[in-house]
């Protein structure tokens, strides 16, 4: 196999030289008769390349022949022979001696290390200690990177059972990126992927992100589902080898037939495209416990991402709640149906009994704004970009006043590109068509009644566009607690026939709210308060019911008069 590799390397060099000569000849040619050289198109950004390899440095598959320096040089040369220098290199089950030897041969990389175990097998590699763990190398100067590391099982106190994740944040592929490596285990809840994702979201802080390593999970394992879904801050992740799923681990015996795919490379799908991967047997352990996994993805220019319901700019839908102490509180979303600690963003008697909602950017600055009915006024509170609110501005004066109506910002109901308001009153359900404007005139169109008088007892919920048709759907809970979905027909200017979504009785579930898809599974979700003053998250995709929800807030939710 080594002879075959040398032959392949030689052929690759001859091919590269030939291509260089050809490119040079072509590049020297201009346009005949023009006297001018043709300007070349801007070069596309090069792909970001990652490598993951479980080195098996201390156990039964350990290399017992090579010194640490020889092993490191073989790893570097064979890795580069398979695909050239990598931008990100993640190695698992390494000894300190191997890590220190690699640092000498991987010139131009920033190195990061974690590990506290001290198995006897690490002694043969020398080095400054016999610790055992994992390493991450990212191409670039250390001064350009911020290093992070954390346990994937934070509560684990037994050192032999601890599993780490390592990340470096800095210039990768020409832009700030969070690059991570990990080694997870089946002994962790969901193999540790929820903890890994939460850390990546916090450390990336909106930057592109990628991770590669030994997940100890085959592609169909439920532990990888959170990776593919991602969180609101990271977006979903795509796997480089998702189509082929070539096995990478557990070679039984000669001729080393690999049986399972445990090693994966995930790239944020908002920021990378054209993903590819391949595997290679690089002959560095007697039993070849793992193959080397090469992956690459081209950087994708990110378009502006807006998430309905997001007030703070972190791409997570947020919750507003009017408390009976005359305050408006903002609960920042986490992307898993839960919320962080609240902060007060409005206070004073005018918030007493207010009806609040947020679904739409009314002033065109890119931030979702808050619509509030206070007393007899309907006001727009512009979002400053962090969830803090500017002073209210009157949106529309009603001849009959707003005090006896429940108006909510519902998104773009009619599909004309502007956010709209739906209002229930004793006369039915009214659509107030809206438009985006920097300075007033948001609701300058005449209102149209689209629902009969029975709507006076309906609670209007605002899930946004649930079916991808460009128009926001309407959810409503009637007096009996039945939750139904309606779509607006722009031709007939009426609501279509309802679709049943389940039921949440008003007596036991006083308040309800939809913020759209908060957990990233493609289905709009629902929250409700209980008669025991808890807050319950109801994931979408199944009928909403009193059973099956997840309690995400314990106690105190009886003190609120409105969710928005």
In contact, 354 and 562? CB cutoff 8 Å: yes
The model's pTM = 0.73
What tokens appear for 88 in the block? 């990100």
- pLDDT tens, residue by residue, 311-321: 998 888 999 99
DSSP state of 445: S
pLDDT at 23: 32
pLDDT at 7: 33
The average confidence (pLDDT) of the chain is 87
- pLDDT tens, residue by residue, 378-409: 999 999 999 999 999 999 988 788 999 999 99
CATH 2.120.10 applies to domain 319-563: yes
CA–CA separation, 460 and 515 (whole Å): 12
In contact, 296 and 313? CB cutoff 8 Å: no
CA–CA separation, 493 and 416 (whole Å): 13
Element at 4 (helix H, strand E): helix 2-27
Task: Indicate if the pLDDT at residue 304 is higher than 80.
Answer: no
Query: What average pLDDT does this structure show over 342-363?
Result: 96
3-state secondary structure 50-93: EEEEECCCCCCCCCCCCCHHHHHHHHHHHHHHHHCCCCEEEEEE
- pLDDT tens, residue by residue, 225-275: 989 988 888 888 999 987 666 667 664 444 445 577 889 999 999 999 999
- 280-284, 431-435, 501-505, 546-550: range with lowest mean pLDDT: 280-284
Task: Indicate if the pLDDT at residue 12 is higher than 60.
Answer: no
Q: Which residue has the higher pLDDT, 31 or 391?
A: 391
* Highest-confidence segment of 21-35, 116-130, 134-148: 134-148
Confidence of residue 519 (pLDDT cuts 50, 70, 90): confident
CA–CA separation, 423 and 411 (whole Å): 13
CATH 3.40.50.11740 applies to domain 48-299: no
Share of the chain above pLDDT 90, in %: 67
ω before 61 within 30° of 0 (cis)?
no
CB contact set of 122 (below 8 Å; sequence gap of 6+): 57, 58, 95, 96, 97, 130, 131, 132
**Where do the CATH 2.120.10 domains begin and end in the chain?**
319-563
pLDDT at 288: 59
Strands (E), 234-302: 237-239, 263-268, 272-280, 292-299
Query: What average pLDDT does this structure show over 342-347?
Result: 96
**Where do the CATH 3.60.10.10 domains begin and end in the chain?**
48-299
* Highest-confidence segment of 149-163, 301-315, 425-439: 425-439
- pLDDT tens, residue by residue, 194-203: 999 999 998 9
């Amino acid at each position: 196999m080594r002879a075959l590799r040398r032959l392949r390397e030689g052929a690759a060099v001859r091919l590269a030289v030939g291509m260089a000569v050809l490119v040079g000849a072509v590049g020297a040619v201009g346009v005949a008769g023009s006297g001018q050289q043709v300007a070349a198109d801007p070069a596309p950004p090069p792909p970001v390349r990652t490598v993951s390899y479980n080195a098996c440095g201390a156990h039964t598959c350990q290399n017992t022949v090579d010194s640490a320096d020889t092993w490191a040089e073989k790893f570097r040369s064979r890795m580069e022979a398979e695909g050239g220098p990598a931008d990100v290199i993640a190695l698992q089950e390494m000894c300190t001696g191997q890590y220190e030897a690699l640092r000498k041969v991987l010139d131009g990389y920033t190195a990061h290390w974690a590990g506290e175990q001290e198995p006897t097998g690490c002694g043969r590699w020398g080095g400054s200690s016999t610790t055992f763990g994992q390493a991450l190398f990212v191409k670039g100067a250390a001064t350009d990177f911020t290093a992070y590391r954390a346990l994937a099982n934070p509560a684990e106190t037994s050192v032999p059972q601890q599993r780490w994740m390592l990340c470096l944040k800095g210039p990768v592929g020409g832009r700030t990126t969070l690059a991570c490596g990990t080694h997870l285990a089946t002994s962790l809840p969901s193999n540790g992927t929820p903890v890994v994702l939460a850390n990546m979201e916090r450390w990336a802080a909106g930057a592109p992100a990628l991770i590669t390593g030994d997940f100890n999970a085959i592609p169909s394992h439920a532990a990888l589902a959170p990776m593919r879904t991602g969180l609101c801050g990271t977006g979903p992740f795509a796997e480089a080898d998702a189509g082929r799923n070539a096995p990478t681990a557990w070679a039984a015996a000669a001729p080393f037939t690999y049986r399972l795919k445990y090693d994966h490379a995930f790239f944020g799908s908002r920021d990378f495209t054209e993903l590819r991967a391949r595997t290679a047997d690089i002959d560095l352990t007697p039993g070849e416990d793992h193959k080397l996994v090469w992956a690459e993805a081209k950087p994708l220019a990110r378009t502006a991402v807006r998430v309905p319901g997001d007030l703070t700019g972190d791409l997570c839908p947020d919750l507003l709640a009017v408390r009976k102490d005359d305050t408006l509180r903002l609960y920042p979303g986490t992307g898993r149906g839960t919320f962080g600690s609240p902060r007060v963003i409005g206070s004073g008697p005018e918030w007493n009994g207010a009806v609040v909602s947020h679904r739409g950017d009314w002033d065109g600055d890119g931030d979702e704004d808050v619509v509030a009915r206070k007393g007899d006024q309907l006001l727009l509170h512009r979002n400053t970009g962090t969830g803090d609110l500017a002073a209210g501005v009157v949106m529309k004066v009603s001849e009959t006043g707003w005090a006896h109506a429940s108006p909510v910002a519902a998104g773009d109901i009619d599909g004309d590109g502007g956010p709209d308001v739906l209002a229930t009153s004793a006369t039915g359900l009214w659509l107030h068509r809206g438009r985006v404007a920097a300075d007033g005139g948001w609701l300058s169109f005449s209102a149209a009644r689209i629902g009969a008088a029975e709507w006076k007892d309906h609670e209007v919920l605002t899930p946004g566009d649930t079916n991808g048709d460009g128009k926001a759907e309407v959810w409503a809970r009637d007096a009996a607690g039945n939750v139904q979905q309606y779509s607006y027909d722009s031709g007939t200017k009426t609501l279509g026939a309802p679709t049943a979504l389940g039921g949440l009785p008003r007596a036991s579930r006083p308040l309800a709210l939809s913020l759209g898809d908060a957990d990233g599974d493609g289905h709009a979700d629902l929250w409700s308060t209980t008669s025991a003053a808890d807050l319950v998250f109801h994931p979408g995709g199944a009928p909403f019911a009193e059973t099956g929800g997840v309690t995400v807030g314990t106690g105190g939710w009886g003190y609120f008069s409105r969710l928005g």
